[in-house]
Chains A and B, each alone.
Chain A
Amino acid sequence: MINHLYFVALRTIWIKECTRFLRIWVQTLVPPAITMSLYFVIFGSLIGSRIGEMGGFSYMEFIVPGLIMMSIITNSYANVSSSFFSAKFQRNVEELLVAPVPTWVVIMGFVGGGVARALLIGIIVTTVAMLFVDISIHNLGVIVLTLVLTATLFATAGLINAIYAKTFDDISVIPTFVLTPLTYLGGVFYSLSLLPDFWQWVSKANPVVYMVNGFRYGFLGVSDVNVAISVGLLVGFNVLLFIVAYVLLQRGVGIRS
């Protein structure tokens, strides 16, 4: 009985979150499609044709998985950080605090909304990419696994950011100063093999490298890192961030006096 109540609550939060990003689709769904189209045109077609092969594939084929992953990372993060912070700012998070909704249901509802937006963006960006290049699939299971785990991870990270955030500036600091550099230096546009040994070693401390390469392996069958390690790290980081988010919300950090 209790489980059914929790299921209803979880579904309610998830539908509310999906309704939110669909209601403002011009802000949430259109920009990634336009940005990625520009990436494909400029880096893929115009510059990419002069770069030649990367990792045994045309440059366009090489960057497609990375660009899809980049969209997934930024959108899953942005969705939950802005939604949860808005709920704090407008105080409608109180609706959840006074209701008998367990903390894990709140986390799963918000994160589920972020994952849904990320997956939808993934489909849109992939569709756009298909206009520029033939997409091959090497291992669908790895694609889906890395995609879902990455979206979940960054959605949870966005939630933690929103828990601590006191102003709207606070939810743009991490994406600007942490996420963007990590993503751009995460092997989206180049293979790590192009880097000197030292910088390859440094790059492997960047978790985004494992996500991008795991995802790329699913499409192309090539990766700069071991895919099992990629999946293992993703699972590990997901568990860690879930625990952090759970403890913070349970203690009422940022939401209870």
Chain B
Amino acid sequence: MFALDIQGLTKTYKGGVQALRGIDLQVQQGDFFALLGPNGAGKSTTIGIISSLVNKSSGSVKVFDYSIDDQLTLAKSCIGLVPQEFNFNQFETLTQIMLNQAGYYGVPRGVARERAETYLKQLDLWEKRNSPARELSGGMKRRLMIARALMHQPKMLILDEPTAGVDIEIRRSMWRFLEEINQQGITIILTTHYLEEAESLCRNIAIIDKGQIVENTSMKALLSKLNVETFVLDIEPVQQPPELPNYTTRLVDDHTLEVDVHKSEGLSPVFSQLTEQGVQVMSMRNKANRLEELFVRLVEEGRANAAVGA
């Protein structure tokens, strides 16, 4: 049984915009799954359909084997949703928001109070429990959305860009929290624009573009497809670009050199040849996140194939 099983899902909005063009997607129970794609690719529409915020045009969606067509109540009970936009009542206190959420799922008030305390403490919001939500900072609001989604203890948590606009310290603390609850058995589906986030958290990944899945594999398998990485070297200023015969290089300015390195080649020859030419390397970094490079490439390939097909 899959935590999520989507077959042939399509969605055409009233204006005729075809947001999803037949998506097939399976997410294993207990997985930490990334659903990535550029803006307007269909991620939020997919999540909207799974969580009943958007009506599908055709296809099937099953959540822990419960169809959203015939067993919607049971399917909904399995899902905790952290949407992209803040959608809690800004005038209610954190406690009220948490208790109301639990109440909608039929959780008795006493149990709900205990859970609210647990999750608000875990997400560092307990001190603010009696404050109206509008008084929270952006990072606190993001954490409140996660805490709220856990109140009915769902089997699957769907997070639509949960760390957007959050500073790196809070983002990392949220990652730790998500890893913890994933280890407890909760299946997590994550969409994010921070590809570093997806790379460090997720075990499996699907990339969606223009309403179609262009890649669906494990993170490890996907990253192994990356044959070439670009490194940026900060060097002592030079007048002429150094010569590295087996490598593609670009001298960005007199003290920045970009070098494309194939996976089979390694970096040692680069340093040796630069040293021979008297070029001092001060520091080095990856030009882009590895997943980012793959993401861009896969999306571009998908679009090129679509153009050829058309």
Contact = CB atoms under 8 A, between A and B. Distances in A.
Interface in B150-205: 152
Nearest to B104: A99
Contacts of B108: 8
Contacts of B48: 257
Interface in A1-44: 2, 4-6, 8-9, 11-13, 15-16, 19, 23
Interface residues of B, number: 37
A87 B54 CA distance: 17
Contacts of B52: 97-98, 256
Q: Which of B73, B92, B100 has the most CB of A within 10 A?
A: B100
Given A8-B108, A99-B76, A94 B103 contact: no
Contacts of B77: 100
Given A92-B88, A95-B87, A256-B54, A16 B106 contact: no
Contacts of A23: 91
B53 A97 contact: yes
B96 A19 contact: yes
A257 B53 contact: yes
B286 to A, nearest CB: 38
Interface stretch (B78-86, B218-226, B235-243): B78-86
B291 interface: no
Nearest to A252: B55
Taking chain A's interface residues, is the majority helix, strand, or loop, or is none over half, making it mixed?
Answer: helix
A95 B104 contact: yes
B10 interface: no
Contacts of B106: 4-6, 8-9, 100
Interface string A91-119: 11011111111100000000000000000
A90 interface: yes
Nearest to A19: B96
Given A5-B105, A96-B104, A256-B54, A90 B72 contact: no
A12 B92 CA distance: 14
B90 interface: yes
Contacts of B256: none
Interface in B25-58: 45, 48, 51-55
A11 B103 contact: yes
Given A5-B105, A98-B79, A99-B105, A256 B55 contact: yes
Contacts of A100: 72-74, 76-77, 104-106
A98 B48 CA distance: 9
B104 A101 contact: yes
A18 to B, nearest CB: 12
Contacts of B298: none
Question: What is the interface residue range for chain A against chain B?
Answer: 20 to 34
A157 to B, nearest CB: 23
B289 interface: no
A102 B79 CA distance: 16
Contacts of A94: 53, 83, 87
Contact of B89 (A9, A90, A102): A90
Nearest to A96: B104
A87 B89 CA distance: 8
Interface string B55-74: 10000000000000000111
A34 B103 CA distance: 36
A6 B89 CA distance: 22
B85 A95 contact: no
A4 B101 CA distance: 16
B13 A12 contact: no
Contacts of B140: none
A12 B100 contact: yes
Nearest to B88: A92
Nearest to A99: B104
B281 interface: no
B244 interface: no
A160 B261 CA distance: 63
Interface in A219-251: none
Interface string A67-108: 000000000000000000001001110111111111000000
Given A92-B89, A256-B53, 10 more contacts: A9-B103, A11-B103, A12-B103, A19-B96, A91-B85, A92-B87, A94-B53, A95-B100, A257-B13, A257-B53
19 contacts: A6-B106, A8-B106, A9-B103, A9-B104, A11-B103, A12-B103, A15-B103, A91-B87, A95-B101, A97-B53, A98-B76, A99-B105, A100-B76, A100-B105, A256-B52, A256-B53, A257-B45, A257-B53, A257-B55
Interface of B: 13, 45, 48, 51-55, 72-74, 76-77, 79, 81, 83, 85-92, 96, 99-109, 152
